[in-house]
Amino acid sequence: MGIHETRLAALRAVMAETATDLVVLGPSTSMVYLTGVDPHGDERPVLVIVAKDYAGFLMPALNADMARQHTDLPFHEWADAEGPAAALAALLDKCDAKRPGLSIVLDETMRADFALMVLDALEAPKRRYTADTIGRLRARKDAAETEALIACARLNDDAVRHAMTQLRAGMTELELQAIIRDYYKAHGAAAEFTIIGFGANGAFPHHHTGETVLEDNMAVLIDTGCRIGGYPSDMTRSFWFGEEPAEYKKVRETVEAAVQAALDAAKPGAIAREVDAAARGVIEAAGYGPRFVHRTGHGLGMDVHETPYITATSDSVLEEGNVFSIEPGIYLTGQFGVRLEDIVVLRKDGAEVLSGLPRMLDL
Protein backbone atom coordinates (compact mmCIF):
# COMPACT_ATOMS: atom_id res chain seq x y z
CA MET A 1 0.00 0.00 0.00
CA GLY A 2 1.00 3.61 -0.54
CA ILE A 3 1.45 5.99 2.36
CA HIS A 4 -2.10 7.36 2.20
CA GLU A 5 -3.70 3.91 1.95
CA THR A 6 -1.62 2.87 4.97
CA ARG A 7 -2.74 5.93 6.92
CA LEU A 8 -6.40 5.35 6.01
CA ALA A 9 -6.16 1.76 7.25
CA ALA A 10 -4.53 2.97 10.47
CA LEU A 11 -7.28 5.55 10.96
CA ARG A 12 -9.97 2.90 10.56
CA ALA A 13 -8.21 0.74 13.15
CA VAL A 14 -8.22 3.65 15.61
CA MET A 15 -11.86 4.39 14.76
CA ALA A 16 -12.75 0.80 15.68
CA GLU A 17 -10.77 1.08 18.90
CA THR A 18 -12.56 4.32 19.88
CA ALA A 19 -16.05 3.31 18.60
CA THR A 20 -16.00 6.17 16.07
CA ASP A 21 -18.51 5.99 13.21
CA LEU A 22 -17.33 8.93 11.10
CA VAL A 23 -14.27 11.15 10.80
CA VAL A 24 -14.97 14.42 8.98
CA LEU A 25 -12.04 16.58 7.83
CA GLY A 26 -12.05 19.96 6.13
CA PRO A 27 -9.20 21.56 4.18
CA SER A 28 -6.33 21.18 6.63
CA THR A 29 -3.03 19.48 7.26
CA SER A 30 -5.04 16.49 8.51
CA MET A 31 -6.66 16.18 5.08
CA VAL A 32 -3.22 16.39 3.43
CA TYR A 33 -1.79 13.83 5.87
CA LEU A 34 -4.60 11.35 5.22
CA THR A 35 -5.23 11.78 1.49
CA GLY A 36 -2.52 13.94 -0.13
CA VAL A 37 -5.22 16.40 -1.20
CA ASP A 38 -4.60 20.06 -0.34
CA PRO A 39 -7.65 21.77 -1.83
CA HIS A 40 -8.23 25.41 -2.46
CA GLY A 41 -9.90 26.66 0.71
CA ASP A 42 -12.73 29.14 0.41
CA GLU A 43 -16.42 29.29 1.29
CA ARG A 44 -17.28 26.30 -0.94
CA PRO A 45 -17.66 23.20 1.29
CA VAL A 46 -15.00 20.56 0.69
CA LEU A 47 -14.73 17.60 3.07
CA VAL A 48 -13.38 14.10 3.27
CA ILE A 49 -15.55 11.73 5.31
CA VAL A 50 -14.27 8.36 6.50
CA ALA A 51 -16.57 5.56 7.67
CA LYS A 52 -15.94 1.91 8.44
CA ASP A 53 -16.50 0.72 4.87
CA TYR A 54 -16.40 3.90 2.78
CA ALA A 55 -14.40 7.09 2.40
CA GLY A 56 -15.05 9.88 -0.05
CA PHE A 57 -14.88 13.59 -0.77
CA LEU A 58 -17.49 16.28 -0.93
CA MET A 59 -15.81 18.24 -3.70
CA PRO A 60 -16.68 21.47 -5.55
CA ALA A 61 -16.77 20.58 -9.25
CA LEU A 62 -14.44 23.43 -10.24
CA ASN A 63 -11.66 21.92 -8.07
CA ALA A 64 -12.25 18.25 -8.89
CA ASP A 65 -9.75 17.86 -11.73
CA MET A 66 -6.95 19.41 -9.71
CA ALA A 67 -7.70 17.33 -6.63
CA ARG A 68 -8.06 14.12 -8.65
CA GLN A 69 -4.30 14.18 -9.34
CA HIS A 70 -3.62 13.33 -5.68
CA THR A 71 -6.16 10.67 -4.67
CA ASP A 72 -8.19 7.72 -5.89
CA LEU A 73 -10.94 8.20 -3.31
CA PRO A 74 -14.40 8.79 -4.84
CA PHE A 75 -15.70 12.33 -5.28
CA HIS A 76 -19.23 13.53 -4.62
CA GLU A 77 -19.12 16.64 -6.75
CA TRP A 78 -21.37 19.66 -6.59
CA ALA A 79 -21.58 22.77 -8.76
CA ASP A 80 -22.20 26.36 -7.74
CA ALA A 81 -25.56 26.27 -9.57
CA GLU A 82 -26.91 23.47 -7.37
CA GLY A 83 -25.15 23.75 -4.01
CA PRO A 84 -23.64 20.99 -1.85
CA ALA A 85 -26.74 19.57 -0.09
CA ALA A 86 -27.54 16.73 -2.50
CA ALA A 87 -23.90 15.70 -2.87
CA LEU A 88 -23.43 15.67 0.91
CA ALA A 89 -26.58 13.57 1.34
CA ALA A 90 -25.27 11.05 -1.19
CA LEU A 91 -21.88 10.90 0.54
CA LEU A 92 -23.49 10.35 3.94
CA ASP A 93 -25.71 7.61 2.46
CA LYS A 94 -22.61 5.81 1.17
CA CYS A 95 -21.11 6.16 4.66
CA ASP A 96 -24.23 4.59 6.24
CA ALA A 97 -24.57 7.77 8.27
CA LYS A 98 -28.36 8.09 8.48
CA ARG A 99 -28.60 6.20 11.77
CA PRO A 100 -29.27 8.34 14.86
CA GLY A 101 -26.67 8.90 17.54
CA LEU A 102 -23.54 8.40 15.45
CA SER A 103 -20.19 9.02 17.14
CA ILE A 104 -18.39 11.47 14.89
CA VAL A 105 -15.04 13.24 14.92
CA LEU A 106 -14.96 16.77 13.50
CA ASP A 107 -11.79 18.49 12.34
CA GLU A 108 -11.49 21.35 14.83
CA THR A 109 -9.74 23.50 12.23
CA MET A 110 -12.54 23.44 9.64
CA ARG A 111 -14.88 26.38 9.05
CA ALA A 112 -17.82 26.56 11.44
CA ASP A 113 -20.32 26.58 8.56
CA PHE A 114 -18.85 23.34 7.17
CA ALA A 115 -19.08 21.66 10.57
CA LEU A 116 -22.64 22.86 11.19
CA MET A 117 -23.70 21.69 7.72
CA VAL A 118 -22.58 18.16 8.63
CA LEU A 119 -24.15 18.25 12.09
CA ASP A 120 -27.44 19.51 10.64
CA ALA A 121 -27.48 16.60 8.17
CA LEU A 122 -27.19 13.98 10.95
CA GLU A 123 -29.66 12.88 13.60
CA ALA A 124 -28.51 13.50 17.19
CA PRO A 125 -24.77 12.90 16.54
CA LYS A 126 -22.28 12.73 19.39
CA ARG A 127 -19.29 14.78 18.33
CA ARG A 128 -15.75 15.29 19.50
CA TYR A 129 -12.50 16.48 17.93
CA THR A 130 -9.51 14.72 16.41
CA ALA A 131 -7.12 14.19 19.33
CA ASP A 132 -7.76 10.46 19.84
CA THR A 133 -8.08 9.50 16.16
CA ILE A 134 -6.17 11.22 13.38
CA GLY A 135 -4.45 13.49 15.91
CA ARG A 136 -3.07 10.42 17.65
CA LEU A 137 -1.83 9.00 14.35
CA ARG A 138 -0.20 12.26 13.33
CA ALA A 139 1.52 12.45 16.72
CA ARG A 140 3.39 9.20 16.06
CA LYS A 141 5.92 10.22 13.45
CA ASP A 142 7.32 7.62 11.08
CA ALA A 143 11.00 7.48 10.13
CA ALA A 144 10.63 9.68 7.05
CA GLU A 145 8.77 12.37 9.00
CA THR A 146 11.35 12.33 11.76
CA GLU A 147 14.21 12.68 9.27
CA ALA A 148 12.45 15.62 7.63
CA LEU A 149 12.03 17.31 11.02
CA ILE A 150 15.69 16.71 11.90
CA ALA A 151 16.86 18.21 8.59
CA CYS A 152 14.73 21.29 9.17
CA ALA A 153 15.98 21.63 12.76
CA ARG A 154 19.60 21.52 11.63
CA LEU A 155 19.02 24.25 9.04
CA ASN A 156 17.40 26.28 11.79
CA ASP A 157 20.54 25.78 13.87
CA ASP A 158 22.66 27.18 11.07
CA ALA A 159 20.37 30.19 10.64
CA VAL A 160 20.61 31.10 14.32
CA ARG A 161 24.39 30.60 14.36
CA HIS A 162 24.63 32.94 11.38
CA ALA A 163 22.36 35.50 13.04
CA MET A 164 24.51 35.53 16.15
CA THR A 165 27.58 36.45 14.11
CA GLN A 166 25.67 39.44 12.71
CA LEU A 167 24.61 40.96 16.04
CA ARG A 168 25.78 44.51 16.55
CA ALA A 169 24.79 47.43 18.71
CA GLY A 170 22.44 49.77 16.86
CA MET A 171 20.60 47.10 14.83
CA THR A 172 16.84 46.66 15.22
CA GLU A 173 14.85 43.52 15.96
CA LEU A 174 13.45 43.68 12.44
CA GLU A 175 16.95 43.78 10.94
CA LEU A 176 17.94 40.61 12.81
CA GLN A 177 14.68 38.98 11.78
CA ALA A 178 15.47 39.80 8.13
CA ILE A 179 18.94 38.24 8.44
CA ILE A 180 17.42 34.96 9.63
CA ARG A 181 14.72 34.94 6.99
CA ASP A 182 17.20 35.73 4.24
CA TYR A 183 19.30 32.79 5.42
CA TYR A 184 16.30 30.49 5.16
CA LYS A 185 15.53 31.65 1.65
CA ALA A 186 19.15 31.28 0.53
CA HIS A 187 19.13 27.66 1.73
CA GLY A 188 15.86 26.54 0.18
CA ALA A 189 13.56 26.98 3.18
CA ALA A 190 10.59 29.24 3.87
CA ALA A 191 10.30 31.28 7.06
CA GLU A 192 7.57 29.92 9.33
CA PHE A 193 7.88 32.60 12.03
CA THR A 194 10.64 34.65 13.68
CA ILE A 195 10.29 36.38 17.04
CA ILE A 196 13.15 38.66 18.07
CA GLY A 197 12.98 40.22 21.53
CA PHE A 198 15.66 42.68 22.64
CA GLY A 199 15.82 43.71 26.29
CA ALA A 200 12.49 43.86 28.11
CA ASN A 201 10.66 42.69 24.97
CA GLY A 202 11.85 39.16 25.70
CA ALA A 203 9.45 39.16 28.68
CA PHE A 204 6.54 39.01 26.23
CA PRO A 205 6.36 35.33 25.15
CA HIS A 206 4.72 36.25 21.83
CA HIS A 207 6.40 39.61 21.25
CA HIS A 208 5.76 41.32 17.91
CA THR A 209 9.20 41.94 16.41
CA GLY A 210 9.69 45.67 15.89
CA GLU A 211 12.00 48.64 15.82
CA THR A 212 13.63 48.21 19.25
CA VAL A 213 17.38 48.84 18.95
CA LEU A 214 20.01 46.49 20.37
CA GLU A 215 22.30 48.14 22.88
CA ASP A 216 25.37 46.90 24.73
CA ASN A 217 24.49 44.85 27.81
CA MET A 218 21.04 43.78 26.69
CA ALA A 219 19.18 40.47 26.70
CA VAL A 220 18.40 38.81 23.35
CA LEU A 221 15.70 36.21 22.69
CA ILE A 222 15.39 34.47 19.31
CA ASP A 223 12.40 32.15 18.71
CA THR A 224 12.37 31.05 15.10
CA GLY A 225 11.44 28.30 12.68
CA CYS A 226 11.47 27.50 8.99
CA ARG A 227 9.78 24.93 6.76
CA ILE A 228 11.25 22.48 4.26
CA GLY A 229 9.25 19.92 2.30
CA GLY A 230 6.11 20.34 4.36
CA TYR A 231 7.72 20.05 7.81
CA PRO A 232 8.77 22.90 10.14
CA SER A 233 11.30 23.66 12.85
CA ASP A 234 10.94 25.61 16.08
CA MET A 235 13.68 26.65 18.50
CA THR A 236 14.31 29.38 21.08
CA ARG A 237 17.65 30.60 22.35
CA SER A 238 18.25 33.34 24.94
CA PHE A 239 21.57 35.02 25.73
CA TRP A 240 23.13 38.28 26.86
CA PHE A 241 24.72 40.81 24.50
CA GLY A 242 27.59 41.99 26.65
CA GLU A 243 28.70 41.03 30.15
CA GLU A 244 26.04 38.74 31.62
CA PRO A 245 24.64 40.05 34.94
CA ALA A 246 24.17 37.73 37.90
CA GLU A 247 20.36 37.70 37.85
CA TYR A 248 20.21 36.88 34.15
CA LYS A 249 22.72 34.08 34.69
CA LYS A 250 20.62 32.68 37.55
CA VAL A 251 17.44 32.78 35.49
CA ARG A 252 19.05 31.19 32.46
CA GLU A 253 20.59 28.40 34.55
CA THR A 254 17.21 27.79 36.19
CA VAL A 255 15.49 27.50 32.82
CA GLU A 256 18.19 25.14 31.57
CA ALA A 257 17.72 22.97 34.68
CA ALA A 258 13.97 22.93 33.95
CA VAL A 259 14.66 21.75 30.39
CA GLN A 260 16.88 18.98 31.72
CA ALA A 261 14.22 17.88 34.20
CA ALA A 262 11.61 17.71 31.45
CA LEU A 263 13.98 15.79 29.18
CA ASP A 264 14.55 13.25 31.96
CA ALA A 265 10.79 12.86 32.50
CA ALA A 266 9.92 12.50 28.80
CA LYS A 267 9.74 8.78 28.08
CA PRO A 268 7.25 6.52 26.31
CA GLY A 269 4.46 5.78 28.77
CA ALA A 270 4.89 9.03 30.70
CA ILE A 271 1.86 11.31 31.10
CA ALA A 272 2.23 14.71 29.44
CA ARG A 273 1.40 16.57 32.67
CA GLU A 274 4.29 14.76 34.39
CA VAL A 275 6.74 16.32 31.94
CA ASP A 276 5.19 19.73 32.52
CA ALA A 277 5.39 19.20 36.29
CA ALA A 278 9.07 18.28 36.09
CA ALA A 279 9.96 21.56 34.37
CA ARG A 280 7.58 23.65 36.45
CA GLY A 281 8.86 22.19 39.72
CA VAL A 282 12.40 23.40 39.05
CA ILE A 283 11.22 26.93 38.29
CA GLU A 284 8.93 27.01 41.32
CA ALA A 285 11.73 25.79 43.61
CA ALA A 286 13.91 28.68 42.39
CA GLY A 287 11.19 31.17 43.32
CA TYR A 288 10.06 32.04 39.80
CA GLY A 289 6.91 29.93 39.61
CA PRO A 290 4.47 32.76 38.78
CA ARG A 291 6.81 33.95 36.00
CA PHE A 292 6.45 30.69 34.03
CA VAL A 293 3.25 31.66 32.28
CA HIS A 294 2.71 29.00 29.61
CA ARG A 295 2.75 25.25 29.02
CA THR A 296 6.00 23.33 28.76
CA GLY A 297 5.50 22.23 25.17
CA HIS A 298 3.46 21.38 22.11
CA GLY A 299 3.61 18.74 19.42
CA LEU A 300 5.35 19.52 16.13
CA GLY A 301 4.69 17.90 12.78
CA MET A 302 2.98 19.17 9.67
CA ASP A 303 1.71 21.94 11.97
CA VAL A 304 3.93 23.93 14.31
CA HIS A 305 1.38 23.32 17.08
CA GLU A 306 -0.32 19.91 17.20
CA THR A 307 -0.79 17.01 19.60
CA PRO A 308 0.58 16.07 22.06
CA TYR A 309 0.38 19.19 24.23
CA ILE A 310 2.64 19.20 27.28
CA THR A 311 0.44 21.00 29.78
CA ALA A 312 -0.25 20.86 33.52
CA THR A 313 -3.65 19.25 32.87
CA SER A 314 -2.98 16.89 29.97
CA ASP A 315 -3.56 13.17 30.59
CA SER A 316 -2.11 12.21 27.18
CA VAL A 317 0.14 9.16 27.36
CA LEU A 318 3.35 9.86 25.47
CA GLU A 319 4.35 7.31 22.84
CA GLU A 320 7.47 6.39 20.93
CA GLY A 321 7.59 8.55 17.82
CA ASN A 322 5.96 11.59 19.42
CA VAL A 323 7.68 14.86 18.52
CA PHE A 324 7.16 17.89 20.74
CA SER A 325 8.82 20.96 22.19
CA ILE A 326 10.26 21.40 25.65
CA GLU A 327 10.33 25.16 26.26
CA PRO A 328 10.11 26.42 29.83
CA GLY A 329 10.60 30.12 30.38
CA ILE A 330 10.87 32.82 33.00
CA TYR A 331 9.57 36.30 32.16
CA LEU A 332 10.49 39.30 34.31
CA THR A 333 8.32 42.18 33.14
CA GLY A 334 10.26 45.33 32.39
CA GLN A 335 13.60 43.49 32.56
CA PHE A 336 14.02 40.46 30.29
CA GLY A 337 12.69 37.02 29.47
CA VAL A 338 14.49 33.72 29.09
CA ARG A 339 13.05 30.80 27.15
CA LEU A 340 15.06 27.78 26.03
CA GLU A 341 13.28 25.56 23.52
CA ASP A 342 14.24 22.36 21.81
CA ILE A 343 12.18 19.89 19.80
CA VAL A 344 12.52 16.25 20.85
CA VAL A 345 11.49 12.93 19.39
CA LEU A 346 10.64 10.15 21.81
CA ARG A 347 12.72 7.07 21.22
CA LYS A 348 12.14 3.83 23.14
CA ASP A 349 14.69 4.88 25.78
CA GLY A 350 13.77 8.56 26.09
CA ALA A 351 13.87 11.97 24.44
CA GLU A 352 16.29 12.80 21.62
CA VAL A 353 16.87 16.50 20.92
CA LEU A 354 16.67 17.33 17.20
CA SER A 355 18.83 20.47 17.37
CA GLY A 356 22.60 20.36 17.53
CA LEU A 357 22.88 23.95 18.79
CA PRO A 358 23.73 24.29 22.51
CA ARG A 359 21.03 25.91 24.63
CA MET A 360 23.49 27.78 26.89
CA LEU A 361 24.89 29.94 24.13
CA ASP A 362 27.27 32.80 24.76
CA LEU A 363 28.52 35.38 22.27
Cβ within 8 Å of residue 157, ≥6 positions away: 235, 355, 356, 357
User: How big is the chain by its Cα radius of gyration, in Å?
Assistant: 23
Cβ within 8 Å of residue 181, ≥6 positions away: 191, 194
Residues 155-181 have a mean pLDDT of: 98
Residue 117 has pLDDT above 90, yes or no: yes
Tell me, what amino acid is at 274? Answer: E
Q: What pLDDT is recorded for position 41? A: 82
Q: What pLDDT is recorded for position 262? A: 98
Q: What pLDDT is recorded for position 93? A: 97
Q: What pLDDT is recorded for position 131? A: 94
Going by their DSSP bridges, the two strands 336-339 and 329-332 should be labelled as antiparallel
Q: What pLDDT is recorded for position 361? A: 84
Cβ within 8 Å of residue 144, ≥6 positions away: none
pLDDT band at 269 (very low <50, low <70, confident <90, very high): very high
| Distance separating alpha carbons of residues 74 and 70, to the nearest angstrom | 12
Per-residue pLDDT reduced to its tens digit, 322-358: 999 999 999 999 999 999 999 999 999 999 999 999 9
Alpha helices, DSSP H, located in 77-210: 85-94, 112-121, 134-139, 143-165, 173-186
Residues 253-280 have a mean pLDDT of: 98
Residue 315 has pLDDT above 80, yes or no: yes
Residue 221 Cα distances to 176, 226, 227, angstroms = 11, 17, 20
Residue 1 has pLDDT above 80, yes or no: no
pTM for the complete prediction?
0.94
Continuous segment of H or E residues that includes residue 5: helix 3-17
Closest by Cα among 107, 100, 105, 98 to 16:
105
| Distance separating alpha carbons of residues 355 and 296, to the nearest angstrom | 17
**Helix, strand, coil: what percent of the chain each, to 5?**
35, 25, 40
Q: What pLDDT is recorded for position 226? A: 98
HEC readout, 24-87: EECCCHHHHHHHCCCCCCCCCCCEEEECCCCEEEEEEHHHHHHHHCCCCCCEEEECCCCCCHHH
Quick one: CA torsion of 158, 231, 209, 311, rounded to 10 degrees?
-110
Per-residue pLDDT reduced to its tens digit, 145-160: 999 999 999 999 999 9
Q: What pLDDT is recorded for position 362? A: 79
Continuous segment of H or E residues that includes residue 247: helix 246-265
